[in-house]
Structure 1
Amino acid sequence: MKFPSVSIAALAAFASLNVSTVSAFTSPSSISSISSISKHTLPISHVSLKATIEATDSGLDESILTRISASTEESKQWAEMFDLTEEAGAAYHALFTGIRSSAALGVKGKPFYLKSSQILHAMDNADGNAFEGFFSFDDLAKAVEDDFLDANRGSTDNRQGWKVMAVSTPRGSSFQDARMTLDEVNLALEKGTVIFNTAGSHIPKLASATLACCDAAALPCALNMYVTAAGKRTSAPPHTDRQDVIVIQTQGQKHWRVYSPPDPAMKPDADMYARGKGDDNLPLYSLEEGQYGCQKLLDVTLEAGDVLFIPAAFPHTTDTVSDLENVPSNTSIHLTFNFDTHVWDLNYLSARRLALMRAGVNDSKLSQMKEEDNRYVGEVNKLAKPVRDDLLSNLPLDFLDDTKDLNKAVDEVTAELERISKEVDPETYAAVPSSIWKETVQQIQNQGVKLFDVHRDMYLAAIEEGRLRKAEEAMTAHLEGDALKRARAMTPEKMQRLSLFRVQKYYEQIDEAKKELADWAKEGSATTDSGSDPNALPQDWAFTLPVKVGDQVEADLGGAFFPATVTKAGGNSFDVKFFDGDVMNGLDRSQVKLLSPPKASAGNDDEEMPPPGLTKKELKRWRKKQEKSKAKKGF
């Protein structure tokens, strides 16, 4: 999961605002009453919904539809409990419950497609498909007007890796100058797809659906929104994602092609969950010709109300070529709900890595001992497929579900973790004390529960903000002219309620939970570099010491820091490539966090190291570029 970037200029423009004014415009009693409704007040029985997935496409669809139908009544109760019946809460909860009860996720998963009519029949909804028209271009226009949103535009070359760039840049230091406008969104739509990351935490209307995803999946989930004008030959070049995604088309049409995962052993230095992103190219012809062992699995056009499921690591590409006229009402809008198991260390590869770090055991098999190492490249991709698939599997989806026996879940996951770790490498497995395997699983569960609760609170806060805005609009509906303008004018107090500020405390809690797990793992490994003196470092060394190309860092995306590699460094401006392959340019030094102090160089202090994960061809090209640069400097 990735959080949208927030410009430094925008933050600086509001640094002087009084945060205490928020209390005068929010309703603590109301939000606390919602928060007090526990996620486990209504025990949803998923055991009764489990079924074996058929091998055929029709069998797969029917089994999932059966689960959706079976969960409809309990999902209605969930929606009524949170007063979300008008926000299609029951429909979203039933859909995600049906998908959650499937074991077919990740590299062992299988994509599927559900038509609007099938969903309508499964939910027995006489009022129509709740997903069709749930979020329209008019809703987007209102969201941009009402809030302080940020977005990126994706590249459209299906022969190169997918890159993103900011839709808006501050035009000045004032609030209005820093806000993204609908005109900027429309201009970006002429060039490519506009991406609103974590839209469920920023846009109140989308928060209820995202909360439904979290509660039904028992996971810290996120929602991204993708907007594409009609008639685009490529709206997203071929790429893979780190998340299992549920795509819901709410307006317009989008054509999807989905392929089986590339064989990681054919390009072991490539991240299988970030193929076709950044500098990694996954051209369409390579998929169509079956390179890397890929086969086309789905070729479908989603219409409003349709649903598509794509497991993590499955390449996909999209376009909006059709006979539809390029007008706002035909603009394609789809919501992507992320099952973020790999993002939050909820897989066996991450669990094994943390256990070895805790035990201080060198990972001689996979060479993944440093926190900044990309665990999805290198030796892991050379493992035998059955072992690799087990290692990359997500932990069971009831692992964080406190309506179940969490201690039993820990025992079951620990046993599976030990089995897989022994198959990966008996020597490193034997070197880890038995107690550490279980202790590691418990720590991962503790972090997961914290992240789950933080995400729920974040979405509940967005829901409450949406209700407060509606109440304010109703109170001023009788006004006209200047009186109406004054009543609805943006004030410093209202600014503090915008998502830009509302989400920050939740992002900080997410960072804190991630840091706690990383610190726990490092406590037992004693990885301090010999000869280094931590006391000699400045307290803020992570944000002040020099950063160079190739450094493994964490970079700021809207207040939350995520693993990244520095790809360009110049002055106080840095370009980075994130762990999932996305690229962000022009970050300030305060937005780039070093993970370890720079080591003293025995050679040229200006010597740059190549970014990790380059192919031989890319490495050769990089070295030639460095040689030309040195020649110009007179080295």
Structure 2
Amino acid sequence: TSKAPPGVVLVLLLLLAAAATSPTALLSAVPAATAFVPSTITSARPLAAVAAAGASSSSARGTTTTKTTATFGAVPVPRSFYRRRAAPPSSCAAAANADESDSDADGAAAVAPGAAAAAGSRSVVSEAVLSSISESVSSAESWGDMFDLRGPESILFAVFSGIRHGAEPSGAMGCGGIPFLLRSNQVVEATAGGASLETEEKLAGFFTYDDLIQAVEEDFLDADRGSTDSSKGWKVAAVSKPRGDTFEDARMTREEIDAALRKGTVILSSAGAHIPKLAGAALACTDASSLPCALNLYATTAGKVTSAPPHTDRQDVVVVQTQGKKRWRVYSPPDPALSIGADMFARGKGNDDLPLDALNAGEYGGTELLLDATLEPGDVLFVPSAFPHTTDTIVGSAEESGAGADAAATSVHLTFNFDTHVWDLDYLSARRLALRRAGVTDWALGQFGEGENRYVGRANAVQPPEVRIDLFRPLPLGLLDDDDIEEAGAAAPAAAAESAASELERISRAVDEETASEVPSEIWAETIEALRRHGLDLMDIHRDMYISAVEEGRTRRNEEAMTAHLRGEALMRARAMTPEKMQRLSVFRVREYFGKINEAKEALVEWSRAGVASSSTSGGGEGREADGGEGGKGGGESALPDNWEFTLPLDVGDQVEADLGGAFFEATVTKAEDERYDVQFFDGDSMEGLSRDMIKLLTPPT
């Protein structure tokens, strides 16, 4: 296979996996396998490289840490830890032929017969990831020693590092990726070599329903409840509403959480920033992936027929089940060319329906069930962006799934988001920024306005499909690595940036040669460098935010230990809420960092506009008015009130930024009534009843 064309290697792997299942599966896999040949031969898909390199062995990995951005106590904190890229397992071909870990035989999961080829690919990727996890244990121990996080957080660091260095070169990440499942025993075995890892504290039980209730009772948290109709788009509503005018009246309570759980799934967005016990895990994800990552928490009682309707996400998601059981079904992505007005990363959200029956019938361009698995505590599932998925908790025995099941049966899982599209770290966003920087109108894709959703419209109709897939592809993860990385086998950031700039120009010319030819050649590299600075700024903000939450958790534990001997009124006085303690609550602690995130986002937009202003000075900049640039506003801004963004009336359809947990994100106004507004965010999520001061208008009325 080392001498075969990449496409041929992949076809062989897919057919071998199908043959291992049954002769019937082999026959059904032939059309699916051969469909890969044109794209793989021309673009050298990386999965083949994993198989071809299977015979190579990896050497021990070191750790290089140089730059620091904060201090943790008296210890300098490195921006991130860097490891040599993990080599694939010693026999990927054997892995492709092995019995599937997610087959019906062991009762763990099932795949549709027609998806046998994809199952073989998952096996190859899973083995590569597990191998990389094992090789990341040493780095995970060093990371855990630095932050005094030697339990589940260090294990998660190894898992995220393994996914980054095992899945990315396998082509498993992004909207053209491959979902895969790692069972708890596999993760335990892969991390067993860590002498300082607390092996008795694996991922199972890391965060439970009781932990959630404790977090609610000792902090000021917000949560949402998701809808449960599998034929409708996923919508959320607030779990808690103020019961009065006092601080205590505004706090969410256990009773409100339990009431919401009886109706659906309780969702805590950005839980890694708000809940100290989860902050170390969010920090591990950010450091291991070299991305500004987020952590969300989901809790569902047993017995829910639908805990999340079918939908897609903007992020590559790593799911870690920590309590109870939850069934996941993951499908191949719908063809975006069939619904160019829909956001492929937000299907099945808000008013966009993605019915389960239609998915199962393949009505969206041949969608197919790729994975059907029940997650148990300690299991890890990877779902690429744009892959539809739905969940339920009708699993286990009648006692486990019945209405009378106790809190221990409640499903709790954490989702760690490899956020690339959210932060403009993909080629579509880079192209948009480069055109704006050059003052070139995007006539090809028609993305003129600042607030327009770049994943909707003509971008979904780009042909051939291979170009569209490349356009939506994330920038390489190594782009945000440290400048001084020296380890063999890992691409230095400078090389990654140079490669990304060349790829950006190539993709842009493939989309529309005429538009791309108007962009000065140096703009492509400048854009990638601007995105790199933007990503590094966001990483630093996220790391500081998570470190702050870790420190807060330790402060609270110390305070509790110091007052443990007290009783009665003395204990109540010692633990009473004070102004100083109130400022340490997450609602206030996190606000500073979300403000910095907004500033970083605005700085990137201003950078892109600066090129337009420069072109205007020199008499260039054709198309600025169509691009929503400065010419469109004219001199009318001088007559606007100082705070017009937060005071002028809003209309349905206005492009805005709305407050989501303290940070403002792109959204569209969907309802305006009695000075209250409903919005739908860029990723398809929606919120209802926002006040005017929670919404920022992007463009003044003409």
TM-score (norm 2): 0.79
Q: What's the RMSD between the two structures over aligned residues?
A: 1.6
- Given that residues 49 and 98 in structure 1 are in contact (C-alpha distance below 8 angstroms), is that contact kept between their aligned partners in structure 2? no
- Alpha-carbon deviation of 1:36? 2.9
Match of 2:662 in 1: 559
Q: Indicate whether 1:46 and 2:74 are aligned.
A: no
Choose which of 503, 506, 516 in structure 2 pairs with 1:419: 506
Match of 1:243 in 2: 315
Match of 2:239 in 1: 167
1:224-623 to 2 correspondences below 5 Å: 224-292=296-364, 293-322=366-395, 323=397, 324=400, 325=402, 326-384=405-463, 385-402=465-482, 403-404=484-485, 405-525=492-612, 526=624, 527-528=629-630, 529=632, 531-599=634-702
My pick for the range that moved more, 221-230 or 371-380, is 371-380
SS of alignment partner, residue 577 of structure 2? coil
Instruction: Tell me which amino acid in the other structure corresponds to 1:388.
Output: R
Instruction: Tell me which amino acid in the other structure corresponds to 1:100.
Output: R
Q: For residues 353 and 317 of structure 2, what CA distance do their matches in structure 1 show?
A: 22
Q: For residues 122 and 512 of structure 2, what CA distance do their matches in structure 1 show?
A: 37
Q: For residues 455 and 519 of structure 2, what CA distance do their matches in structure 1 show?
A: 22
- Alpha-carbon deviation of 1:34? 6.3
The runs of 5 or more residues in structure 1 that have no matched partner are 1-29, 600-635
- Given that residues 75 and 146 in structure 2 are in contact (C-alpha distance below 8 angstroms), is that contact kept between their aligned partners in structure 1? no
- Given that residues 501 and 525 in structure 2 are in contact (C-alpha distance below 8 angstroms), is that contact kept between their aligned partners in structure 1? yes
The one-character-per-residue Cα deviations of 1:121-168 (angstroms, maximum 9, x if unpaired) are 111178346110000111111101111010000000000000000000
Instruction: Tell me which amino acid in the other structure corresponds to 1:295.
Output: E
My pick for the range that moved more, 480-489 or 385-394, is 480-489
The one-character-per-residue Cα deviations of 1:40-68 (angstroms, maximum 9, x if unpaired) are 4xx43232446789653322221111111
Q: Indicate whether 1:204 and 2:242 are aligned.
A: no
Q: For residues 530 and 78 of structure 1, what CA distance do their matches in structure 2 show?
A: 50
Instruction: Tell me which amino acid in the other structure corresponds to 1:39.
Output: R
Choose which of 61, 73, 78 in structure 2 pairs with 1:33: 73
Q: For residues 551 and 234 of structure 1, what CA distance do their matches in structure 2 show?
A: 33
Quick one: percent identity of the two aligned structures?
Answer: 56
The one-character-per-residue Cα deviations of 1:350-400 (angstroms, maximum 9, x if unpaired) are 000000011111111100122111111111111121000001000111110
- Given that residues 82 and 481 in structure 2 are in contact (C-alpha distance below 8 angstroms), is that contact kept between their aligned partners in structure 1? no
Q: For residues 281 and 441 of structure 1, what CA distance do their matches in structure 2 show?
A: 35
Choose which of 164, 170, 181 in structure 2 pairs with 1:113: 181
Instruction: Tell me which amino acid in the other structure corresponds to 2:380.
Output: V
- Given that residues 144 and 182 in structure 1 are in contact (C-alpha distance below 8 angstroms), is that contact kept between their aligned partners in structure 2? yes
The one-character-per-residue Cα deviations of 1:321-348 (angstroms, maximum 9, x if unpaired) are 1320521111000000000000001000
- Given that residues 120 and 129 in structure 1 are in contact (C-alpha distance below 8 angstroms), is that contact kept between their aligned partners in structure 2? no
Instruction: Tell me which amino acid in the other structure corresponds to 1:596.
Output: T
- Given that residues 31 and 464 in structure 1 are in contact (C-alpha distance below 8 angstroms), is that contact kept between their aligned partners in structure 2? no
Match of 2:615 in 1: none
Instruction: Tell me which amino acid in the other structure corresponds to 1:241.
Output: D
Match of 1:98 in 2: 162
The one-character-per-residue Cα deviations of 1:467-495 (angstroms, maximum 9, x if unpaired) are 00010011011111221111111112111
- Alpha-carbon deviation of 1:32? 4.8
Instruction: Tell me which amino acid in the other structure corresponds to 2:541.
Output: V
Q: For residues 474 and 248 of structure 1, what CA distance do their matches in structure 2 show?
A: 30
Q: For residues 311 and 521 of structure 2, what CA distance do their matches in structure 1 show?
A: 39
- Number of equivalences: 567
Q: Indicate whether 1:70 and 2:143 are aligned.
A: no
Q: Indicate whether 1:155 and 2:155 are aligned.
A: no
Match of 2:18 in 1: none
Match of 1:618 in 2: none
Q: For residues 72 and 276 of structure 2, what CA distance do their matches in structure 1 show?
A: 17
My pick for the range that moved more, 526-535 or 222-231, is 526-535
Instruction: Tell me which amino acid in the other structure corresponds to 2:652.
Output: V
SS of alignment partner, residue 569 of structure 1? strand
- Given that residues 49 and 71 in structure 1 are in contact (C-alpha distance below 8 angstroms), is that contact kept between their aligned partners in structure 2? no
Q: For residues 406 and 397 of structure 1, what CA distance do their matches in structure 2 show?
A: 9
Higher RCO (Cα < 8 Å, 6 or more apart): 1
SS of alignment partner, residue 577 of structure 1? strand
Q: For residues 520 and 446 of structure 1, what CA distance do their matches in structure 2 show?
A: 11
My pick for the range that moved more, 406-415 or 204-213, is 406-415
Change (3 A) 1:315 1:34: farther
Q: For residues 454 and 46 of structure 1, what CA distance do their matches in structure 2 show?
A: 25
- Given that residues 316 and 385 in structure 2 are in contact (C-alpha distance below 8 angstroms), is that contact kept between their aligned partners in structure 1? yes
TM-score (norm 1): 0.87
SS of alignment partner, residue 523 of structure 2? helix
- Alpha-carbon deviation of 1:533? 2.3
Q: For residues 203 and 407 of structure 2, what CA distance do their matches in structure 1 show?
A: 18
